[in-house]
Structure 1
Amino acid sequence: MSWLAIWLSAVIITGSQGCLKCSPEAIRILDEVKGPYLDSKLRGDPTLREKLQNLLQSNVEGLSQQPIGKSSYMGVIDEITLQELTGHFKRSMNRIMENQFDGGQLFNEITWSLQDLLVAFQKLLKAFQKVYCNNECGNMDYMFLNCFTCKTQIYSCSKNIYCGERKLKVEMDEDLILDCAMRWHRYNHGAKKYAFYRIVKGKEQEMTTTMDSFLVKKEANANDAGKYRCKLFSANGYLSSMLDFQVTVVSSVGKTTWFPRPQTTPEGPIALGISSRAPLPQPDWTVWIVIGSTGGLLFIIVAAFLCYYRHQNEKEEKEEESGEDEQEDEEESESSD
């Protein structure tokens, strides 16, 4: 049965309810505005009070009377969208009750709020409809609230169970990751279970079953090449989707493998060995560079000191020779006199 047929049947049997009528919080604040609030604000104007009461009731109920369309509205809503719609309605009504609106101004504010509520409803339901039946393959289950009966129901959107094949290349000694998740899986109702298989000679060999959508095989080698399969099962155990993987393991020539620090045991450190992919150890010249730099600096200091010492000696020798020459000159002067 199509969604349109479900909607038409609900309208004929139950009549219009309106998605917002399915929210107890929204009904509570609606009754508060229609009753105590309007009774106190419009005690002297019963005609306007009744008009606003009918306007509130008819607009809230009339939300479900929007045009049916797969991209806009299909007569159902999920809990999250209903909570957002309820929150919008509560904020609008609280704003009105917290302000001192009277008479015509109160009528205008309520009318504007109801028009804004309709715009919000259309916007939220349009976004919600994008979730509906957005699975490219497989069987997708939804838990929706019927806007006419206010009862939750499971709806299914069934397409081809087989979701194709993904080709993966993994380098030798790297981790092989089989990721089975598809975009629509997170919207699928109920607990999900993933089963992973290795396909050998056309037969499935189960590897593991888990709630996670991925499987990690550490340090892939040539034996890990081949075909794998992932199946998604719904909460009731039915197959929802199936995805294959064709894995190729390629060599990783020239790639360096870095090993962790060796562990220590009472007998001593554990030798990890050398990977065939790891390059030969390179000499570390850091110590020699430091020694050379330090020695060079010491050499410069010593050479500078020797140059200074030599310069001082030469200066003193010149001064001594100058003093002797002056003494000889004086002696010669005295003898001539």
Structure 2
Amino acid sequence: MGPRLPLLVAALAGCLLSARGCVTCDSEVMEALNSLEKDYLPGHLAPEHHENVMKRVKEAVQNFKELPFDEDSYMGVVDEPTLKKASWNLLKDLKRITESDVKGELFVKELFWMLSLQKDTFASYAAHFQKEDFCPNKCGMMLQTLIWCSNCEKQVHACRKSTDCGERQVKVHRKEDMILDCELNWHRASEGLTDYSFYRVWGKNDETLVSKGKEPTLTKTMVGPEDQGTYRCELGTVQSDPATIIYFHVTVLPQRVEEEIPSPDIPNQGEVTLGHPQSNTSLQYPLSQSPNPVKMLRGRLLGLLIWGCVVLIAGAATVIFCSRSGKMLDSIKSWFDTGTEAAQHPEVPEGKS
């Protein structure tokens, strides 16, 4: 390895000074680094370089938490799923290096090259969190547990937006089921939520609690005109402020009319059917169950095939029967002719004239 190794370590570690992330907040990462120092280095690197290499490695990893912190943009924080995903990638690559049993300068190059790539990977995860996962609620109040990379401290952050999440128009026919759904796509990711409460709104300051619980829907069966009106849904939080408020304006439409077509085999009340009913395709098949032309054609072809086979078999049997009958007649005729000839020319016993 020679005197080049300390210079190599310093040069490679210098590439990581601008790294952004806070993987050192994960206890599994710190345990893996300790195992690297105590278990792997003694058999894969000269003892005089152990201290210098581990010092550079720890500095490089510590730089993962030197994120610019802005109170307004929250650039110095991540959520726990993002941290876990970045830590898992780092641990996976570190395990790959140790299992490859690489030694010396090649080990140092592999190690710091891996840390450089992990820096970029974590930067992409953090950017995605800031753009997509940080306060994804478009309305209402969402509670998120965030990790401050400067001190690995966890705090619950409230993403406060307008609690009024709009109004929805619901139309339902009489004697059918009414379903009001209050769940939004970010509710399952939010923390500190309590119960969904549904109210029947009668006036500006007058409303009645209809249901309360963990289910985000209100279902009313066999609705009638009395169920028409305005409903309000509210999702509570541990901070006593509502997370979501949604209004539903329900309109009850007339009952659906389903026309019943009488069966052709059952006469109408007060009528007597005489003789055989006339064949009527429109009566045999209701409109909703009209025959399929393809199936009808297929059935007819199958019937013709069956009848053709029957005729062919009958013809063959007739030919065989006629042939055997002709031979039998010839035998009877021959026997009859033989008997007649014997009667006409009887045999005379010897010695008699």
What band does the TM-score fall into relative to the shorter chain?
Answer: 0.5 to 0.7
Distance 1:212 1:37, change over 3 A: same
Structure 1 runs (4+) deviating above 6 angstroms are none
The DSSP-based 3-state class of the residue aligned with 2:145 is strand
Match of 2:154 in 1: 152
Counterpart-to-counterpart distance in 1, 2:121 and 2:260: 64
| Structure 1 position 222 matched with structure 2 position 225 | yes
Counterpart-to-counterpart distance in 1, 2:101 and 2:34: 19
Match of 2:141 in 1: 139
Counterpart-to-counterpart distance in 1, 2:67 and 2:265: 77
Cα deviation, residue 238, structure 1: 2.6
Deviations 1:231-273 (A, max 9, x none): 010134332221101111223544xxxxxxxxxxxxxxxxxxx
Distance 1:281 1:63, change over 3 A: farther
The one-letter code sitting in structure 2 at the alignment partner of 1:177 is: I
Match of 1:323 in 2: none
Cα deviation, residue 186, structure 1: 1.8
| Structure 1 position 33 matched with structure 2 position 36 | yes
Match of 2:195 in 1: 193
So what's the TM-score if we normalise by structure 2?
0.64
Distance 1:44 1:50, change over 3 A: closer
Unpaired stretches in structure 1, ≥5 consecutive residues: 1-15, 255-276, 290-300, 313-337
Deviations 1:90-113 (A, max 9, x none): 111111111121222112211121
The one-letter code sitting in structure 1 at the alignment partner of 2:145 is: M
Counterpart-to-counterpart distance in 1, 2:55 and 2:30: 14
Equivalent pair of 1:81/1:125 in contact (CA under 8 Å) = yes
Cα deviation, residue 43, structure 1: 2.4
Match of 2:98 in 1: 97
Deviations 1:24-64 (A, max 9, x none): 11110011113332233112552xx3443133212221112
| Structure 1 position 108 matched with structure 2 position 109 | yes
Unpaired stretches in structure 2, ≥5 consecutive residues: 1-18, 267-276, 278-283, 285-310, 323-353
The DSSP-based 3-state class of the residue aligned with 1:153 is strand
Match of 1:58 in 2: 59
Equivalent pair of 1:17/1:147 in contact (CA under 8 Å) = no
Counterpart-to-counterpart distance in 1, 2:265 and 2:93: 73
Distance 1:151 1:73, change over 3 A: closer
Match of 2:86 in 1: 85
Counterpart-to-counterpart distance in 1, 2:74 and 2:159: 16
Task: State the percentage of identical aligned residues.
Answer: 31
The one-letter code sitting in structure 2 at the alignment partner of 1:222 is: P
Counterpart-to-counterpart distance in 1, 2:263 and 2:110: 80
Distance 1:41 1:204, change over 3 A: same
Equivalent pair of 2:21/2:123 in contact (CA under 8 Å) = no
The one-letter code sitting in structure 2 at the alignment partner of 1:98 is: E
Equivalent pair of 2:146/2:155 in contact (CA under 8 Å) = yes
Cα deviation, residue 139, structure 1: 1.5
Equivalent pair of 1:198/1:228 in contact (CA under 8 Å) = yes
The one-letter code sitting in structure 1 at the alignment partner of 2:55 is: N
Counterpart-to-counterpart distance in 2, 1:204 and 1:144: 37
Cα deviation, residue 18, structure 1: 5.5
Cα deviation, residue 226, structure 1: 0.9
RMSD of aligned residue pairs (Cα, Å): 3.6
Bigger radius of gyration among the two: 2
Equivalent pair of 1:163/1:243 in contact (CA under 8 Å) = yes
Match of 1:9 in 2: none
Counterpart-to-counterpart distance in 2, 1:215 and 1:284: 45
Moved more, 75-84 or 237-246: 75-84
> Match for 2:260 among 256, 279, 283?
279
Cα deviation, residue 114, structure 1: 0.3
| Structure 1 position 180 matched with structure 2 position 161 | no
The one-letter code sitting in structure 2 at the alignment partner of 1:164 is: G
The DSSP-based 3-state class of the residue aligned with 1:38 is helix
The one-letter code sitting in structure 2 at the alignment partner of 1:118 is: K
Cα deviation, residue 284, structure 1: 5.7
Deviations 1:148-186 (A, max 9, x none): 222221111111121111111122222211111112222
The one-letter code sitting in structure 2 at the alignment partner of 1:179 is: D
Count of matched residue pairs: 259
Counterpart-to-counterpart distance in 1, 2:116 and 2:174: 63
The DSSP-based 3-state class of the residue aligned with 1:112 is helix
Counterpart-to-counterpart distance in 2, 1:63 and 1:201: 57
The DSSP-based 3-state class of the residue aligned with 2:240 is coil
Counterpart-to-counterpart distance in 2, 1:55 and 1:161: 49
Match of 1:239 in 2: 242
Counterpart-to-counterpart distance in 2, 1:194 and 1:200: 19
So what's the TM-score if we normalise by structure 1?
0.67
